[in-house]
Amino acid sequence: MTEIKANIEILKQAQELDWTVYHSGQRLIEIPQERDRLKQTLESEKSHLKQLQDHLTTLQLKQKEKELELGEKEAHIKKLDGQLAQVKTNKEYSAMQQEVASLKADNSVLEEEIIRIMDEVEAAQEEVKKESDRLKEREKHYQSQEVELASKEKKLNEEIENLLKGREEILQRVDPEIRGKYEIVVKKKEGVALAKVLNETCSACQMRLRPQLLNEIILAADLVACENCYRFLYIDK
Residues at the interface with Zn ion (CB under 5 A): 202, 204-205, 207, 226, 228-229
Beta carbon nearer to Zn ion, 115 or 198: 198
Beta carbon nearer to Zn ion, 144 or 215: 215
Beta carbon nearer to Zn ion, 29 or 198: 198
Beta bridge partners of 232: 194, 225
Q: How far apart are CB 156 and Zn ion at their closest, in Å?
A: 29
What whole-number distance in Å separates Cα of residue 199 and Cα of residue 177?
A: 29
Residue 202: how many other CB atoms lie within 10 Å: 22
What whole-number distance in Å separates Cα of residue 232 and Cα of residue 213?
A: 11
Q: How far apart are CB 22 and Zn ion at their closest, in Å?
A: 17
Q: Between β-strands 194-198 and 201-202, what pairing exists: parallel, antiparallel or unpaired?
A: antiparallel
Beta carbon nearer to Zn ion, 48 or 187: 187
Q: How far apart are CB 183 and Zn ion at their closest, in Å?
A: 18
Beta carbon nearer to Zn ion, 112 or 200: 200
Do 236 and 10 touch, CB atoms closer than 8 A? no
What whole-number distance in Å separates Cα of residue 138 and Cα of residue 77?
A: 53
Q: How far apart are CB 225 and Zn ion at their closest, in Å?
A: 8
DSSP 20-78: HHHHHHHHHHHHHHHHHHHHHHHHHHHHHHHHHHHHHHHHHHHHHHHHHHHHHHHHHHH
What whole-number distance in Å separates Cα of residue 159 and Cα of residue 152?
A: 10
Do 223 and 181 touch, CB atoms closer than 8 A? yes
3-state secondary structure of 166: helix
Beta carbon nearer to Zn ion, 121 or 209: 209
Q: How far apart are CB 230 and Zn ion at their closest, in Å?
A: 7
Q: How far apart are CB 219 and Zn ion at their closest, in Å?
A: 19
Q: How far apart are CB 236 and Zn ion at their closest, in Å?
A: 16
Beta carbon nearer to Zn ion, 160 or 226: 226
What whole-number distance in Å separates Cα of residue 12 and Cα of residue 4?
A: 12
